[in-house]
Amino acid sequence: MKIRFLLPVLAVVYLAIPYLWGGNNYVMSLLVAAFIIAGVALAWALLANLGGMVSFGHSAFFGVGAYLSALLCINYRLPVLAGILMGGIGAAVASIAMLPALRLRGPYFALAVLAYANIFKILAMEFKGITEGAAGVTNIPALPTVMGFDFSSKLGTYLVIVTIVLLFTGSYHLIRVSHYGAALKAMHDSEDATRVVGVNSTLLKAMMLFVSAFMTGVVGAVNAHYINFIDPDYAFDLGWTLLPMVAVVFGGYRTLMGPLVGAVGIFMLDQLVFKALIGTGHQIMLGAVLAVMVLFSPDGLVPLIGDKWKRIRRAQA
Amino acid sequence: MLKLESINVRFGGLAALQDVSLLVDSEDMVGLVGPNGAGKTTLFNVISGLVRPTGGRVLFNNIDVLRKPLYARARMGIGRTFQIPQPMHELTVRENLLVAQRFGTGSVNQSKIDEILDFVRLSDKSDRNAATELALTELKALEVAKALAIQPKLLLLDEVLSGLETAGKRQFMQMLSDLHWRFDVGILIIEHDIETISSVCKRVCVLNFGKLIADGTADAVFKDPEVIKSYTGESGA
């Protein structure tokens, strides 16, 4: 991202939003939820855009990250931030189980990963001695207070999740502009063409899976320490895959900002507008918005805005 | 440099290659000809690692590469082109070469990229989208350029002249003659056109129904009755 775009974005998320709504717990809780979805959406888009894999299994990484961090912090008194990091690493390790699925393509990969995700949910349900089973894990330690600032508050959690999401965005950008990113993009349509020039395509795809799983695990862990309670149905809910997917398609999965704009935009639209208009079943409006977006701009909102902006600039020139 | 020992490939009931043995040295520029379905591209696929043979050995610089994956063989110095050009989508011409060089050799050398682009006459197209903004002759040139970017010791060229009009073919033939010496690379080239292959290669091998039926100088091979029969269905005697 160019610096002239980055600075205003940083000013808005770190200064304007906390200044305007920092004391409003309702708005802050909405933003925390939106950025949690944005984090997963970004990780999902990285795997889809660079790895060429459409995953229905990100709820597994989300759940593993949440459980691992929560259990390590409760049972081994690990500091929360270390627990969050371990949650990410744990999710990346869990993704090793999905490596055999890398041989599959398209819908076969998607279905295989969906099955894997269910296995993790069943494991969390059945290993009651470790996970407390269906009863779930309670009293998960909250985010810490550092130098008098309470990061477990709505504003504190917002700053933590925004920072994590921005760091992930930067990492995604660095991968995308590297030679690895170029090779990954090239692999989508012509994998053999990349393999005959020395690209180990399986390794690159596996690396993207690890990175995506790590990111999702970290976000899952932050969420666990934010709400202080998880159970298998919640932590491994398919919604942790589907809502980010909708956000990514809405925002534009091939762009860096698409997943973020999509997640924050669609979640806030749903919670602030659609919920006010239709109390029950407001999610139906999300489906309608997504259908309109796919029909009129299949590449998503960010490319649509980009095109319009270019046209305006051209007309002015 | 390349030694094939009794290569056999079966696709179900079809024997695509039968006991094919072949030697290619670093100084060689060898033509590989044969009718459609003779097994020429299958042989390239075996050498480059796309197809695993049912029997035989592939030695490259005295190392058995049969169990080595495609990318590892490329890094060892086996470069290849495809009959139907396979540019890397979403990348420019230069980026295609950069990816090939970075992964094929482990480093990036922009001046070498410039040299290759200049050699294949794509310097002025280096910023174009490789998949959507190149004509067929340019796509074929890009195939060769990508293969050169990995600094190959052996280059497998699969019908790089097919589909080109006369002028493009002449330009390409000149390039191929220069390529062998300029980049110090052994070449094995598949081509249908006997006249073309005779003018470029001193040595020619002929495959027919998966069997190597001739290996020698172009003059001798194309006078071989069995070779004539494989092409015309009639005896040359």
Give the DSSP per-residue string, A213-268: HHHHHHHHHHHHHHHS-B-HHHHT-THHHHHHHHHHHHH-TTSSSHHHHHHHHHHH
From residue A62, alpha-carbon distances to A44, A166, A175, A219 in Å are 11, 18, 22, 7
Q: pLDDT band at residue A280, thresholds of 50, 70 and 90?
A: confident
Chain B residues with CB-CB distance to A193 below 8 A = 82, 86-88, 146
Cβ-count burial A34-65 (b if 16+ within 10 Å, e if not): bbbbbbbbbbbbbbbbbbbbbbbbbbbbbbbb
The reply to whether A285 touches chain B by the CB within 8 Å rule is no
Alpha carbon distance A307, A303 (integer Å): 6
Please indicate whether, in this complex, the C-beta atoms of B99 and A196 are within 8 angstroms of each other: no
Instruction: Indicate the domain borders of chain B.
Output: 2-232
Burial of B63 (0-12, 13-18, 19+ CB in 10 A): exposed
User: Minimal Cα–Cα distance from B99 to chain A, Å?
Assistant: 6
Average pLDDT over all residues of chain A: 91
CA distances from A159 to A15, A119, A278, B166 (A): 10, 33, 31, 66
Question: Quick one: average pLDDT of A119-132?
Answer: 92
Contact A196 B74 (CB under 8 A): yes
Question: What is the percent of chain A where pLDDT is above 90?
Answer: 57
The SS3 assignment for B171 reads helix
Beta strands A149-150 and A145-146: pairing type? antiparallel
Beta bridge partners of B10: B15
Write down the CATH number for the domain with range B2-232: 3.40.50.300
Q: Do A42 and A214 form a contact (C-beta atoms < 8 A)? A: no
- Residue pair B48/B220 in contact (Cβ under 8 Å)? The answer is no
Whether A63 and A120 have beta carbons less than 8 Å apart is answered as: yes
Contact B70 A192 (CB under 8 A): yes
Query: Distance between CA atoms of B231 and B155, rounded to whole angstroms?
Result: 26
Contacting residues of B for A185, CB less than 8 Å apart:
88-91
Q: A-chain residues within 8 Å CB-CB of B50?
A: 192
Distance CA A135, CA A230 (A): 9
State residue B237's pLDDT score: 46
Rounded CA gap, A65 and A218, in Å? Answer: 6
Q: Which chain A residue's Cα is nearest to B74?
A: A198
Nearest to B79, CA basis, from B88, B87, B70: B70
Instruction: Dump the DSSP string for chain A.
Output: --HHHHHHHHHIIIIIHHHHHTT-HHHHHHHHHHHHHHHHHHHHHHHHHTT----S-HHHHHHHHHHHHHHHHHHS---HHHHHHHHHHHHHHHGGGGGGGGG--HHHHHHHHHHHHHHHHHHHHH-HHHH-GGG-B--PPPPPEETTEETTSHHHHHHHHHHHHHHHHHHHHHHHHSHHHHHHHHHTT-HHHHHTTT--HHHHHHHHHHHHHHHHHHHHHHHHHHHS-B-HHHHT-THHHHHHHHHHHHH-TTSSSHHHHHHHHHHHIIIIIIHHH-STTTHHHHHHHHHHHHHH-TT-HHHHHHHHHHHHHHHH-
A 161-190 residues with CB below 8 A of B? Answer: 179, 182-183, 185-186, 188-190
Chain B residue numbers touching A178 (CB-CB < 8 A) = none
Helix (H) or strand (E) holding B119, with range, is helix B110-119
Q: Rounded mean pLDDT of A23-47?
A: 94
Tokens of A17: 């939003």
- Spans of chain B, pLDDT less than 70: 234-237
Which of the residues A103, A197, A200 would you substitute to probe the B interface, choosing the one with the greatest number of B C-beta atoms within 10 Å? A197
Binary contact (A190, B89; C-beta < 8 A) = yes
Distance from CA of A114 to the nearest CA of B (A): 29
How much of chain A exceeds pLDDT 70, in percent?
Answer: 99
Confidence grade of residue A315 (pLDDT, cut at 50, 70, 90):
confident
Domain ranges of chain A: 26-316
**C-alpha pair distances (Å), A254 with each of A180, A224, A257, B210:** 16, 29, 9, 45
C-beta of residue B146 within 8 angstroms of C-beta of residue B96: yes
Tokens describing residue A96: 């090793």
Residues 6+ apart with CB under 8 A from B14: none
Q: Give the pLDDT of residue A1.
A: 54
First to last CA, chain A: 24
pLDDT of residue B103: 95
Measured CA distances, A27 to A150, A267, B8 (Å)? 18, 12, 69
Q: Would you say the C-alpha torsion A241, A247, A250, A255 has a positive or negative sign?
A: negative
Task: Tell me which residue has tokens 């690379």.
Answer: B185
Judging contacts by C-beta atoms under 8 Å, the chain A residues touching residue B91 are 182, 185-186
Cβ atoms of B39 and B17 closer than 8 Å: yes
| Interface predicted TM-score (ipTM) | 0.87
pLDDT greater than 80 at residue A90: yes
Fold adopted by A26-316? ABC transporter involved in vitamin B12 uptake, BtuC (1.10.3470)
Residues 6+ apart with CB under 8 A from A90: A64, A65, A68, A69, A217
Chain A, nearest residue to B106 by Cα = A198
pLDDT digits over A187-228, tens only?
887 788 899 999 999 999 999 999 999 999 999 999 999 999
